Amino acid sequence: MKTCSNPNCAQINPQELTSFQKRKDSKDGLRYECKACTKKRNDFWVSANREKKKAIDRAWAKANIEKRRAKNAVWAQKNPKKVSISRTIWQKSNRGKVNALWAKRHAAKLQATPSWLNELQIPEIESFYVEAARLTKETGIAHHVDHIVPLQGKEVRGLHVPWNLQILTAEENHKKGNKIIN
């Protein structure tokens, strides 16, 4: 049992040790005030220093890009429904950005379709899309046509040709993103 050092603590009686956060440099290894008082004090500081808190958060995010991405990826894996809902809401409220991204993708696909393709290869490309649609309808699982070497990759850009296409489930395609998977 331990007593919070804050004289205004709502829980005046001695509290469980789990009510205190750890602190390496104190005698007992715990903070001097309980978690509830610490939270109250921190919330008060944040409300009084909004701009300073935003600057601190931005600086941390900039200095810890990889850590933040990893943490966000773990959260996204644990909360796929929340991610899906959030993405849908964002897309509905940012129609212009979504349309611009689709236009960019369409233009990249047009530029990545070489003029030297022969008349037999164009229908072959179309057959991938027909097959993906058939699989989607038949299985009830969304299927996409994926470019093995991405059209807009960072290191290398692929072509919109039959030998660079494959059919993947939508889930697999979203996981792959703009990467080359061996």
Q: SS3 for 168?
A: strand
How far is the C-alpha of 7 from the C-alpha of 143, rounded, in Å? 62
Each residue's pLDDT, cut to its tens digit, for the chain (182 residues) gives 788 888 888 666 666 778 888 899 988 888 888 888 899 999 999 999 999 999 999 999 999 999 999 999 999 999 999 999 999 999 999 988 888 888 888 888 878 888 898 888 989 999 999 999 999 999 999 999 999 998 887 788 888 899 999 999 999 988 888 888 76
Q: Which residues, 6 or more positions from 14, have their beta carbon under 8 angstroms from its beta carbon? A: 1, 2, 3
Taken in order 148, 152, 154, 156, is the CA torsion positive or negative? positive
Q: Which of 100, 113, 101 lies closest to 158, judged by CA?
A: 113
Residue 157 contacts residue 112 (beta carbons within 8 Å): yes
Beta strand spans in the chain (E): 143-147, 165-169
Torsion of CA 171, 176, 178, 182, to 10 degrees: -150
pTM of the complete model: 0.49
